[in-house]
Chains A and B, each alone.
Chain A
Amino acid sequence: MKYMLLINAGELDLQDTPVGCEPEDWMRFDKEITDAGVVVASESLADLVTATRVEVANDGKRTVTDGPFAETREVLGGFYVIDVPDLDVALDWAARCPGSRGGGSVVVRPIADF
C-alpha cells in the first residue's frame, strides 16, 4: 500500500534550527528509509519564494501570480511516497522523519488505488 508523506515545515526561524532537524538528521533519515527499501519517490521542494500560482477561470482566462505566500503557517517542503503494509508502519516512518519535529508536521495520505 502506497502512502505519501507530505512534509510541512514549521514556522521558519533560521536563527536556530530545532533539535533533530539538522541537515545530518535529514541525511540519516533519508539513508534509513532508502535502505529499508520502501521509498517509491521523494523530492524536496525549492524555497517558497520561487513558487508560482496558476488559476484558470471558467472562461479559460489564465491568471498567473507570484506565490502563494502563506498566511498559512505550514509550508509544504517536500514529500516521500513509500510502499508499506499498513498505516501504522507509515505513521512510524512519519514520526521518524525530521520534518515532524520542531513545529513541523508530516501528513500521511494513502495513494488512491484505481
Chain B
Amino acid sequence: MEQVEAVFREERGRLLAALARRFGDLDLAEEVTSEAIEAALTRWPIDGVPPNPGGWLMTTARRKAVDRLRRDQVYAAKLAILQVEADRPTPQATGNELPDERLQLFFTCTHPALAAEDRGALTLRCLAGLTTPEVARAFLVPTATMAKRIVRAKKKIREARIPFRVPGPDELPERLPGVLQVIYSVFTEGYAASSGPYLQRLDLAEEAIRLARILHRLLPEAREVTGLLALMLLIHARRDARTGPDGEIVLLEDQDRSRWDHEMIAEGRDLVVTALTGGPPGPYGVQAAINAVHDEAAEFESTDWPQIVQLYDVLLDLDPSPVIALNRAAAIALRDGPEAGLELLDELAAEPRLQDYHPFALARADLLQRLGRLPEAITAYEQALALAGSEPERNLVRRRLGGI
C-alpha cells in the first residue's frame, strides 16, 4: 500500500495545483485530492488502471469538490466570489496530459508574505506530497506544532488572498531566488541532519532534489534552477562517504571516494555545464561548479585548487558574504599553503557573522596546527568545541584536539 501511495505522491502535487487554481482554495483542493487518490486505490485494483489515470483522478476530484460545494452553500458562495475574480485564461491541455500547474503552487507556497519557517513546510506538504506528521518529523517539531503552522500559512493564503499565479517575466528575477532558497534550505536541513543522531529522520536532501527536479522540468530555461539541482546532486553524491560506521563526520580529505555516487556526479556535471552556459553565472551555478571540481578529483591531493580559488573569486563577486570569504581562504590555504590562508582568516576575524560560526574557529585551528603553532591551535579548537551545534560536530573537534 505504501508503495502505491508513493507512486501517487507526484500525481498528488499536480492534482493539488490544478484544483487549488480552479477553486482558489487550498483546503478544498487538499481534501478532494486525497479523496480522489483513495478512490483510485480502491477502484483501480478491481477495475484496472484507466487509460488516462491523471484525467480520471482529476475528474473524480472535481466531482467530489462540486459535491462538497453543493452540501455547503455558504462555503460555495464564498469560493464563487473568489473564483470569478481569479478567473484568468487557463493553459490548454495538450493531448492526454493535464496542464501542469505546479509552478503556480511553488510560487504560492514560497511566497515572501508567508513566514520563512512556514514556506519549506508548506512546499514539502503541497508539492512533495508529505503528510503533516512527516513534515513535522522532518523539521523536528511536534506534529501538533507543525499542524498549527500549516493551518496558519493556509489561512494567510486564503484570507490575504495570496494568488495562485506564476510571476510575469519582469517579476521572475525577483521571485525565483525565493523559491530556490526554500528548496535549498530544505536540502541543507537534511544535509546537516544526516550526520546527526536522527537516523529515522526523513531524507530531506532527497525531497529537496525531487522538488528541484520538478521545478527544473517546469522551468528548463532558468539556469539558476539548473544550477541548484546540479549543486545538490554534486553534494548529495558524497552522502555515503560523509559519515563513518558510528555516524562520525568524515571530512572531504579523508573520504573514500569510491563510495561516492558517480552516476549522480555525472548527472550533476552535465547540469553544471548547462547552468553556466549562455549568460552570466549565478551563485548556485558557481557553487555547483566548485563541487564539480571537488567531485572530479581522484584524490584530495590532486584537487584543482587554482580553479576552485578562481570560482570562489567569481562567487564572492556575486555574493560577498563572510562565509564565502572563509571558504575561499580555506581554498587558498590549500593552493598557497597554510600561512597564506591564515592571513586571510585573520582579516576576517572581525566579521560579526563569523564570531559564533564554528567552522571559522575550526578552519583557524586547522591552519594553526599545520603551522605547528600548537598552543594557539588548541585555543581555537576549544573555541570551535564551544560553538559546534551537534554532537557529531563536537566529536570531530574532540578527535582533532586529541590528535595534537
Contacts and interface: CB of A to CB of B under 8 A. Distances in A.
Interface of A: 1, 85-88, 91, 108, 110
Contacts of A91: 113
Contacts of A108: 160
B165 A88 contact: yes
24 contacts: A1-B85, A1-B161, A85-B85, A85-B161, A85-B163, A86-B85, A86-B86, A86-B161, A86-B163, A86-B165, A87-B111, A87-B113, A87-B160, A87-B161, A87-B162, A87-B163, A88-B162, A88-B163, A88-B165, A88-B167, A91-B113, A108-B160, A110-B160, A110-B161
B167 to A, nearest CB: 8
A85 B113 contact: no
Interface residues of B, number: 11
A86 B159 contact: no
Interface string B294-338: 000000000000000000000000000000000000000000000
B154 to A, nearest CB: 14
Contacts of A88: 162-163, 165, 167
B312 to A, nearest CB: 34
Contacts of B167: 88
Contacts of B165: 86, 88
Indicate the member of A1, A88, A108 with the most B CB atoms within 10 Å: A88
Interface in B330-362: none
B76 to A, nearest CB: 16
A111 to B, nearest CB: 10
Given A86-B86, A87-B111, A87-B160, 13 more contacts: A1-B85, A1-B161, A85-B85, A85-B86, A85-B161, A86-B85, A86-B162, A86-B163, A88-B163, A88-B165, A88-B167, A110-B159, A110-B161
Contacts of A85: 85-86, 161, 163
A23 B261 CA distance: 62
Contacts of B162: 86-88
Interface in B16-47: none
Contacts of B113: 87, 91
B164 to A, nearest CB: 9
